[in-house]
Structure 1
Amino acid sequence: MPLPDNGAVWPPREIAPLYTDIRLDDAWYSGDPRKLAKVYRNGTHHRADGRRRLWSRPRPAGTREHRLHIPLAGEIAQTSADLLFADAPVITVSDTATQDRLDELLDACAVPELLLTAAETAAALSGVFLRVTWDRDAAPDRPLLTAVHPDQAVPEWRFGIMTAVTFWRALPSTTQTVWRHLERHERGVILHGLYEGTDDQLGRRVPLTEHPDTAGLADSLGPEGDAIETGVDLLTAVYVPNIAPNRRHRGAPWGRSDLQGLHDLLDALDEVWSSWLRDIRLARARLIVPDGYLRSRGPGQGADFDEEREVWQTLAIPPTEQGSGITLSQFDIRVEEHRATAEAIVRQATAAAGYSPASVGLDGDGAAVTATEIAARDHRSMVTRGKKARYWRRAVADILRILLSVDRVQFGARTADERPTVDIGDGVAEDPGSTAQTLSLLAQAQAVSTDTKVRILHPDWDDSAISDEVARIHEETGQAVADPVGNFPLLQPG
């Protein structure tokens, strides 16, 4: 399928509902109150159910902004990424030469950092795309692996399989014209197009040389003038859903955001904190004094009260007159009520997102705990992490196979056509003391071999390293010495 025709509506109508959801999730994820106010005032989100939300209320002109935003949405997205990729995944292939080249690419492309960033984006915005391209000026000896946000992509599906995807970006412009660069990935080919249009229409297609950001692509295009042959019979992009299904769009192939269904709770949390801060503002100590305590600044200049003055001369005030002295006005602050309400909202929001309260800092007293205790306390988070890991394990393996294939075809790497194995781990580092105690009990029960103990202690070692370690242990403990009794025949009676 070619690139879109001139004058096409952009973004396409079929994906516009997803973009609308992403725009709202992005406002909460950004932590920017101005962005929240803009999306609620200009969108239909606050009018859909007739509820007037905190950030849809206009601020009166000439007044200070007293609403407070708590960035819980960003913390939830970061928690998701940390659970998945705080520790770099172990990625292996069976061929030695291919493994060496893969290690080079993982380091050069900063894949562990890329996955951490992409996972946070996916948690907030429902998913993310991973894309393989190359730029011989930026990286002359290797292909590139990048992440693309879901609101910059228009995928095409068949039976739940992505068959093509068009990535797009708005280019800088000094006029009212909107320049868009479209990059369409199909099996074995990447098409490029530059469009000059408006906010909601692509407009007309023009040569890539018309804009400086795309002019460098012109020399790489094939004879048809818009395509680059990849030489790889694979789609050079994959989609990673955050988690499925998408509850707002049943049957849709894209994932759902961790923030789906949380917007009212997030708005209520901001309302509670804003009320709490309002109590603090109103509870500031204020002094009410009679006119006689005020010091005149002169004709027409008003008067003020010097709160630092310690001695006042006798004033002509009857001693029986009520309210003749200085009065302190200070209201109570409803600390516990606000704290309990805010904590209840945070608990409900994190649970709805699929995480344990401890994952966002609740229920922890700072004391050291074992890995078993962490797993029990964060059980809900670990279940959610396990679900997401399945999507990421498959997608990372697919995109790294594509990366190796493009590296082999475009850069002459001598590697095998192999799909890597991706081990994301279990997300909980075992406490060394707990591991040692477990191994000691198993050894006392004579229920474990030296080989198994080494494998439990070093799960990331290969068979060769484990065998060498077992041999050293046997040598140091004397288990490698042959049994001397076995060298003599048993004595026969008589």
Structure 2
Amino acid sequence: MPLPTGDTTWPPPHLGPALDAMHTWDTWWSGDPDRLESLYGGSTGGGPDPKRMQYAGGVMGRIARWWWGTPTAAGERRTKLHVPIAGDLCGGSADLLFSEPPRFTVDDDTTQARLDVLTDDGLLATLQTAAEIGAALGGIYLRPVYDQDVADRAWITAEHADRALPEFTWGRLSAVTFWRVVREEDGQVWRWLQRHEPGRIFHGLYQGTKDKLGRAVPLEDADETAGFAPLVSAEGAVETGYDGLDVVYIPNQSSRRWRCHPRLKDWGRSDLDGVEPLMDALDETYSSWMRDIRLGKGRIVVPESYLQSSGPGRGASWNPDQEAFAGVNVLNRGEGMALTVAQFAVRVAEHRDTAEDLVNQILRSAGYSGQTFGIGGDVAVTATEVTARERRSMTTRGKKILRWRPALAHLVEALLAVDQYAFGGGTVPQRPTVEFEDSVQEDPLSLANTADVLRRAQAASTDTLVRMAHPEWDDDQVAAEVALVRQESGTAVSDPMQAGDWP
């Protein structure tokens, strides 16, 4: 049986470095200050002196040297501010890839019609979400699923990389096991394992502990797996209807830290890998800026004689907004009766310059241009100028497309096969051609001026000019538009070389 049979450690120990790294990236991506303090050990006050810990070695010393690893002093409120730039990075990566839906085309008309139904707006939303998760965790798994009680067609779902045990053969995914915790009770953990192999999926339910997989139990013991019990074979497998592996893995970028690890070298790399110290420094900069603002609030120090008693045992106060005051019956003590105004300077320029430099360095290290994230203004420019300013982002997008295009072709072929297996319809599953749309659209006025110059120079046909103005149109739409243009301009005449018989 391909699924585990003994009480093994789970997750497998060799996944430890990858899972630890993904946990760190996921914490930064979540944007939750509480999780960051918990990750770096700075959530509790009254512990060891952070200054002493910073000189220590090992894990504790390394954590204490992070700004988020410095505990809040006892008796003080937390004033740490988090800038969610990790979420902006991953979201921007997904927007660059799937701001426009990719086009899938096949040769068979019946299959194309069914493919158009399967790849509706729901697929684009799934791909956008998957791309953002993959940018954060270093990779994403996609696979087709179906449920005849839910929908009349198959669809695509994403599986996260921190809940997957992949197997690669010569750099290609050959099998993968996904796991999910379906119940926790009295220290016992029930895990649902799904192992995907070419043509079939093995399902198994295990009762164990937090660190141990435990023993296999019947699928009927959990509500999430009970529905698969009548479907599995004697080996515990369910047929997929697709001869190949029905799962694709899209690494975000090539791995750096695990390139020499025999079992992790094919895993992807997060956009956040290596920029964690810079994000920590950015949070420290903004928190220092806000601290300057708090300390810079104007304060008035008044002599005790100016205070108004609030009654026995209730202290005294002074109202700075009161317009008229009664005379103070005290001896004149010179400067001791003066009001003292305390106003600290707020270092706005220094903090802003530091923050901008850190943001630019984070974006550059992750492979993006500042213009992509609105740095540099929103002045309207042509598509050519936008591409020039965002060249680094466009280069990163192109590298990611090289990984996404073949994976999507394989995925859509599997989707067609699974849909045919579950719902029929006479389609012919085949691998489609995948085209990514330009993420930067040309300005219509610029296109019109270019087309006008080309027409006056007689350097392009009407068909070429229509295709330039409407790159999203198919051949039938272009032909219809060309006919209308010729009719309105009076050039819709028949070819004299094909006009009847010559006298």
Instruction: Please report how far the alpha carbon of residue 324 of structure 1 lies from its aligned counterpart in structure 2 after TM superposition.
Output: 1.3
Which among 136, 142, 150 is matched to residue 124 of structure 1? Answer: 136
CA contact (8 A) 2:42 2:68 kept: no
Counterparts of 1:55-134 in structure 2, within 5 Å, are 55-107=68-120, 110-134=122-146
Contact 1:317 1:324 in 2 (8 A): no
Kindly provide the CA deviation profile for residues 127-169 of structure 1, in whole angstroms up to 9, marking residues without a partner as x: 1000122223323x32231001100111001100111000111
Alpha-carbon distance in 2 for matches of 1:266, 1:440: 49
1:451 Cα deviation (Å)?
A: 1.4
Give 1:235-384 correspondences, 5 Å limit: 235-244=245-254, 246-251=255-260, 252-317=265-330, 319=332, 321-364=334-377, 366-384=378-396
- Aligned counterparts of 1:185 and 1:416: Cα–Cα separation in 2: 23
- After superposition, the Cα gap between the structure-2 partners of 1:483 and 1:124, relative to the gap in structure 1 and judged at 3 Å, is closer
Q: Distance in 2 between matches of 1:119 and 1:185?
A: 22
- Contact persistence 2:187–2:210 (CA under 8 A): no
1:211 matches 2:222 = yes
Residues in 2 aligned to 1:438 and 1:415: alpha-carbon distance in whole angstroms = 43
Q: Deviation of residue 407 (structure 1)?
A: 1.2
Q: After TM superposition, give the deviation of residue 61 of structure 1 in Å.
A: 4.2
Work out the CA distance in 1 between the residues paired with 2:60 and 2:444.
55
Distance 1:435 1:202 in 2: 61
Structure 2 match to 1:469: 481
Aligned to 1:19: 19
**Match in the other structure for 1:3:** 3
**Aligned mates of 1:154, 1:474 — CA distance in 2:** 61
Q: Write the distance in 2 (CA, Å) between the matches of 1:298 and 1:462.
A: 85
Counterpart code for 1:233: D
Match for residue 231 of structure 1?
Answer: 241
In 1: Cα distance, 2:278 partner to 2:90 partner: 16
Secondary structure of 2:127's match?
helix
Report the counterpart of residue 136 of structure 1 in structure 2. Answer: 148
Matched-pair contact (CA < 8 Å) for 2:41–2:63: no
Change (3 A) 1:236 1:483: closer
Q: What's the C-alpha RMSD, in Å, of the aligned pairs?
A: 2.2
Q: CA deviation at 1:355?
A: 0.5
Q: Which segment is superposed worse, 94-103 or 409-418?
A: 409-418
Q: Hey, what's the Cα distance between the residues in 2 that align with 1:485 and 1:323?
A: 110
Deviations 1:82-101 (A, max 9, x none): 11111111222121110111
Q: Distance in 1 between matches of 2:239 and 2:385?
A: 53
Aligned pair in 2 of structure 1 residues 216, 42: CA closer, same or farther (>3 Å)? farther
Q: CA deviation at 1:63?
A: 2.6
Q: 1:51 offset after TM fit, Å?
A: 5.8
SS at match of 1:173: strand
Instruction: Work out the CA distance in 1 between the residues paired with 2:82 and 2:408.
Output: 35
Tell me the TM-score normalized by structure 2: 0.91
Aligned to 2:48: none
Residue 491 of structure 1 corresponds to: none
The one-letter code of the counterpart of 1:443 is R
Q: Which residue of 2 aligns with 1:490?
A: none
Q: Are the equivalent residues in 2 in contact too, given 1:46–1:53 (CA < 8 A)?
A: no
Question: In 2, distance between residues paired with 1:9 and 1:42?
Answer: 30
Closer, same or farther in 2 for the Cα pair 1:253/1:468, shift >3 Å?
same
Superposed, which structure 2 residues align to 1:182-221 within 5 Å?
A: 182-221=193-232
> 1:197-238 deviations in whole A, cap 9, x for unaligned?
1111111111111112211111111133x1112232111100
**Could you say if the C-alpha distance between residues 6 and 70 of structure 1 is closer, same or farther in structure 2, counting changes exceeding 3 Å?**
same
Aligned partners of 2:40 and 2:63 also within 8 Å: no
Change (3 A) 1:410 1:482: closer
Name the structure 2 match of 1:177.
188
Offset at residue 47 of structure 1 (A): 4.2
Write the distance in 2 (CA, Å) between the matches of 1:47 and 1:361: 38
* 1:222 and 2:233 are equivalent in the alignment: yes
Quick one: structure 1 residues 482 and 214, their matched pair in 2 at CA, closer, same or farther if it must change by over 3 Å?
closer
* In structure 2, distance between residues paired with 1:261 and 1:51: 18
Q: Displacement of 1:284 after TM fit?
A: 1.4
Q: Which of the numbers 402, 415, 434 marks the counterpart of 1:390?
A: 402
Maintained 8 Å contact 2:6/2:214: yes
Q: 1:135 touches 1:144 (CA, 8 Å); kept in 2?
A: no
Q: Which has the larger displacement, 338-347 or 232-241?
A: 232-241
Please say if residues 409 and 433 of structure 2, whose CA atoms lie closer than 8 Å, have aligned partners that are also in contact: yes
Q: CA deviation at 1:397?
A: 1.1
Alignment match, 1:422 = 434
State the partner residue of 1:33: 33
Using the TM superposition, name which of 81-90 and 310-319 deviates more: 310-319
**Which amino acid is the alignment partner of residue 213 of structure 1?**
E
Shift of 1:45: 9.7
Deviation at 1:281, TM superposition (A): 1.0
User: 169-178 or 284-293: which moved more?
Assistant: 169-178
Structure 2 residue identity aligned to 1:377: R
Q: Deviations over 1:379-422 (max 9, x none)?
A: 11111111111111111111010010111122213111311111
What percentage of residue pairs aligned between the two structures are identical? Answer: 48
- Whether the 8 Å CA contact 1:36–1:55 is kept in 2: the answer is yes
Q: Which consecutive unaligned segments of at least 5 residues does structure 1 have?
A: 488-494
Q: For structure 1, which segment, 284-293 or 65-74, has the greater mean C-alpha deviation from structure 2 after superposition?
A: 284-293
- Residue identity opposite 2:200 in structure 1: V
Matched, 1:165 2:152: no
Give the letter aligned to residue 239 of structure 1: Y
Structure 1 length as normaliser, TM-score? Answer: 0.93
Structure 2 unaligned spans of 5+ = 44-56
Amino acid at match of 1:206: V
Query: Aligned equivalents of 2:110 and 2:497: distance in 1?
Result: 48
Deviates more, 1:52-61 or 1:355-364: 52-61
CA separation in 1, counterparts of 2:118 and 2:74? 55
> Helix, strand or coil: the match of 1:332?
coil
- CA deviation string 1:243-280 (max 9, x = no partner): 21x11111511111000100000000000001011111
Q: Give the Å deviation of 1:481.
A: 2.2
Amino acid at match of 2:373: V
SS at match of 1:110: helix
* CA apart distance, 1:372: 1.5
